[in-house]
Amino acid sequence: MTSDSAPQDLFVVGADGSRLTRLTPPGTTTAVVHSYDPVSWSPGGTQVAVGGAHGPFWNTTTHSVYIASADGSSFQRVGPLGDIWDAVWSPDGRWIAFSMASKATGGLFELYLMHSDGSGLRQLTSATGGLFSLHPTWSPASSQLLFARGGTSNVDLADIWSINVDGSQLYQVTPQPAGYGTGQALAWLP
């Protein structure tokens, strides 16, 4: 396992091993070693969304969503500052979903959406009842998200929930908490 203080750079490389290109500038670390879905390609394959920070990722909660050009020409922060570990592009390219904890959420992770330029930011879930929300996974039609939601007493136990992109229809999918959100990727049937 990589130490948090070790470089956590993001690279792209051709399938044949050629054209190795660094996407992150020096001093930037990513959530790649800490999250199961930390990097997400734009539908056109020209950009990558990633959770990142300046300095060691684990030792700070000041992270954000960054957009990197696949050719390495740009890397810019587009999201708010908070404890952000994932950034997932919608299949239609309109939104990036991410989970973030902040003082405003009482330190609990909640789901958010924004456009790839950082506009249209909105919170989808709330920490009502002390529940966290993590690991958003898009439906193929970009109309819903699956995610892990659970209580703070044991973050290894969560249920699978779904929500519409407009914030309506919050629905508990699984009837009993399990390790759904702890390193296990959620997936939709295509």
Structure letter (DSSP) for residue 4: T
Per-residue pLDDT tens over the stretch 42-66: 999 999 999 888 777 777 778 899 9
SS3 category, 73: coil
Residues 6+ apart with CB under 8 A from 61: 82, 83, 101
Q: Is the pLDDT of residue 119 over 80?
A: yes
Rounded CA-CA distance 52/91 in Å is: 22
CATH for 11-172? Answer: 2.120.10.30
Going by pLDDT thresholds of 50, 70 and 90, the confidence category of residue 175 is confident
The larger pLDDT score, comparing residue 27 to residue 185, is at 27
Please say whether the beta carbons of 149 and 159 come within 8 A: yes
Is the pTM for the entire model greater than 0.85? yes
Q: Considering just the CA atoms, what is the radius of gyration of the chain in Å?
A: 16
pLDDT tens digits, one per residue of 75-107: 999 999 998 888 999 999 999 999 999 888 888
